[in-house]
Structure 1
Amino acid sequence: MGLTSGSFTTLMIVVAVASVLAVVWLWPRLARGRLLSVAGRLGLIAASQVLVIAAFLVVFNGYFGFFGTWAELLGRAGSSQVVPVVRAGSLSRSVIITATDPGPLPGGKSLPRSGPSAAAAGPSLTGPAGHGSDSSPAQAGRLLMVSIIGRRTGISVAGDYVYLPPQYFQPAYARARFPVVLVMTGYPGSALAIVTRLGVPSTAARLVAARLATPAIYVMMNVSPVMPRDTECTNVPAGPQVESFFARDVPLAIEQAFRAQSSPGGWAAMGYSTGGLCATKLAMLNPRQFPSAVALAGYYKALRDHTTGNLYGGSNAYRNENDPYWRLQHLPDPPVSVLVTSSKIGEKTYPGALKFLSLVRPPMRAYSLFLPQGGHNFGSWTRELPQSLEWLSQRLTPAVPAGGQPFVRS
């Protein structure tokens, strides 16, 4: 039973309600003043409170997507079975496919909320798998659960996702290379939330079907590859080189495993909350790799708190180098485009977004998408997502099918 599955959430709610009813029913039977009866009443109250709090946390986690699986919750998400990815007769051991599912149908039908089935019959980039759907890859694309091994940084992650659009499997695109969008979660977060809560694959499929966006590969990842630490996408001195992992290892692995474009113009970054900071940082520090980025309710200041620890080796200068505000005020602006989103009412990131926009100077270009009212939640981010993907699509180099006619947006 999955941690975020509807059946588990329902079970926890039922158990919590039953515990409250049990307190009401058993209370008169423990009304005597004996020590054993008092201990029994205290035990009932404690057990009921624990179960109610547990049910609340399950619902809360299901909505915000902090942890997508039991393995992530227990800190065991890093283990996986190594299976090579086959592409054009070569092997890439930097990407490991651990499960496959049909993607969302082009009309925008959502993926199963449980995500790719762990029981899928082995990795496959061509055949139907998971949930018994008979949709062919050329109709629905494929959603892959993957592990990625960083050859340069030594960082390895599991439980992330890659969405391949239907065009990837169509004969006309057999030799085409596709643009890639790296999508990152907030902290703490689960890559599964990008699939089920943010709905990136289903939204992308719907936009492509309406010819509002170009087909692209979406790489959906947890923003912190060394959980439970929040690294803010930083190359930590004498620690994990997270910025290099996302900027170097991930593109290299994806380009080796799939028909993905290389930069410039082939990659873009996107994220919500902490992922928005990371998308912005990756673009500003690596403008050739990520010439465009979207920050959904992101922030733009280098943080340090109990979740990050000492990210900057005690150096204020290095902290400044990782602070987008400081970089805009003291260094030449990079030639990148950034879309900043927030909500004018109800979103704590709005003042910071205005400050960021005010600091941007050419050749950097900044755009804004502000909701009149919203919050720091998936409800707001899903409203911002379609326009954000359309904006990114205008800046990506489209895949070119046989015959030389690229996908044309309406």
Structure 2
Amino acid sequence: MGLTSNKMLALAVLSAVLLFVGTVWLWPRLARRSWRTVCGRVGLLFATQTALFAAVGLVANQSFGFYASWADLFGRETGQGVVVDHAGGAAGGPLRVVETRRVQTAGGTRPESGGQIQKIEIVGRTTRIATPAYVYLPPEYFQDRHRTRRFPAAVVLTGYPGTAEALVDKLRYPRTALELARDGRMQPMILVMLRPTVAPPRDTECVDVPDGGPKTESFFARDLPEAVGAHYRTGKQRGSWGIIGNSTGGYCALKLAMHHPEVYAAGAGLSAYYDAPTDATTGDLFHGDVELRRRADLWWTLRHRPAPDTSLLVTSSRSGESNYRDTREFIERVKATGRTRISSIILESGGHNFNTWRREIPPTLRWISGRLSA
């Protein structure tokens, strides 16, 4: 059974309940002062608490999408990371659709009425980074009267470690986009949903890591839009692409929009931070390269680089988010540039979690829809 399966969760909850009942039932028999009864009491308490903590951990993992599999949890993920393909690929890099499914909302099962979610595998043309992703295609994409129409597109990123599935099932980006477009509150858009961890389990913070490391920023700035644009009817001109992310993905979204405004006309950072950390999950991202380290610092970029011609959105909450003061300061510094446009969503309360982001996603999608065209 998989780490995120409902069967595993049900088994953990059932085990915790049965062990609790068994402990209460057997406790009188284990009240004697012998080594056997003492070991029995310790064993029952240990087993009950282990089952309880396992059940709570599985619930938290399903709610927040921390780990996708047992291998991911124990640091032994065997999925694709950085791949070198000497055969070369087609223009825009290879992209393969491996699965399709419908959007979980009312309105019919046909893609012409409810849109479609496609699971894809991408290998970057220049970086050779390989990663899975999900693509949401709106109903209009499949309708005959729109068969030549091109659509704006937005990259949607998770936090770290995160799972792309959580963007579909937990944060409900496709369902929200479909319902907003049906109500006329945003234009139909293509969403490309994936996690920024393209070289798992390492957290690269969307940095082009030197000395043979993964070129993550180049993948998102060049290879991903090329590959998707070669396969789907996305807009070709400037202003067709935007990017959204939460937590680590939010930092990446802001950085990519600021560094590559010719690609991303808008970037939204939900609960973002503004400088790349260096810790056990990232390793040495910069290898002593001072200029690369400064480039990853959005504060330094605002002070020392020309203001990019792009639109930014940041979110936080007055109570519950640790980035509130930094976000207020970031807003003021961007406003002072006089060129980069800045918007914000500030909640009264809300933590660094899925529930908060689900409250911010509808207005974020409306905001980015209003800044893109195809």
Under a length normalisation based on structure 1, what TM-score does the superposition of the two structures give?
A: 0.83
1:243 aligns with 2:217: yes
Residue by residue over 1:233-285, the C-alpha shift from the partner in whole angstroms, topping out at 9 and shown as x without a partner, is 11111211111111111111111221122341111000011111000011111
Structure 1 unmatched ranges of 5 or more? 80-89, 108-133, 399-410
Give, in angstroms, the shift of residue 92 of structure 1. 8.3
1:176 aligns with 2:145: no
Which aligned pairs between 1:139-218 and structure 2 lie closer than 5 A? 139-158=113-132, 160-218=133-191
Give, in angstroms, the shift of residue 16 of structure 1. 1.4
- How many residues align? The count is 361
Q: 2:343 aligns with which of 367, 381, 389?
A: 367
AA of the residue aligned to 1:76: T
2:14 and 2:215 map into 1 onto residues whose CA distance is 44
1:67 aligns with 2:43: no
Give, in angstroms, the shift of residue 71 of structure 1. 6.0
AA of the residue aligned to 1:223: P
Distance 1:332 1:396, change over 3 A: same
Residue by residue over 1:370-389, the C-alpha shift from the partner in whole angstroms, topping out at 9 and shown as x without a partner, is 11221111111111111111
- State the SS of the aligned residue for 1:97: strand
Asked if structure 2 preserves the Cα contact closer than 8 Å seen for 1:68 and 1:193, the reply is: no
Distance 1:6 1:94, change over 3 A: same
2:106 and 2:139 map into 1 onto residues whose CA distance is 8
Distance 1:263 1:286, change over 3 A: farther
Match of 1:24 in 2: 24
Identity of aligned residues (%): 42
Q: 1:352 aligns with which of 320, 326, 329?
A: 326
Give, in angstroms, the shift of residue 25 of structure 1. 2.5
2:233 and 2:71 map into 1 onto residues whose CA distance is 30
1:204 and 1:266 map into 2 onto residues whose CA distance is 17
Asked if structure 2 preserves the Cα contact closer than 8 Å seen for 1:106 and 1:206, the reply is: no
- State the SS of the aligned residue for 2:218: helix
Give, in angstroms, the shift of residue 49 of structure 1. 2.2
Give, in angstroms, the shift of residue 72 of structure 1. 4.3
Give, in angstroms, the shift of residue 40 of structure 1. 3.1
Match of 1:116 in 2: none
- State the SS of the aligned residue for 2:319: coil
2:80 and 2:156 map into 1 onto residues whose CA distance is 19
- State the SS of the aligned residue for 2:267: strand
Asked if structure 2 preserves the Cα contact closer than 8 Å seen for 1:263 and 1:289, the reply is: no
Match of 1:231 in 2: 204
1:101 aligns with 2:101: yes
Q: 1:381 aligns with which of 353, 357, 373?
A: 357
1:61 and 1:174 map into 2 onto residues whose CA distance is 40
1:97 and 1:29 map into 2 onto residues whose CA distance is 60
Match of 1:15 in 2: 15
Asked if structure 2 preserves the Cα contact closer than 8 Å seen for 1:9 and 1:55, the reply is: yes
Q: 2:251 aligns with which of 257, 263, 277?
A: 277
Give, in angstroms, the shift of residue 179 of structure 1. 1.2
Under a length normalisation based on structure 2, what TM-score does the superposition of the two structures give?
A: 0.90
Q: Give RMSD over aligned pairs.
A: 2.1
1:77 and 1:27 map into 2 onto residues whose CA distance is 46
1:304 and 1:233 map into 2 onto residues whose CA distance is 13
Match of 1:123 in 2: none
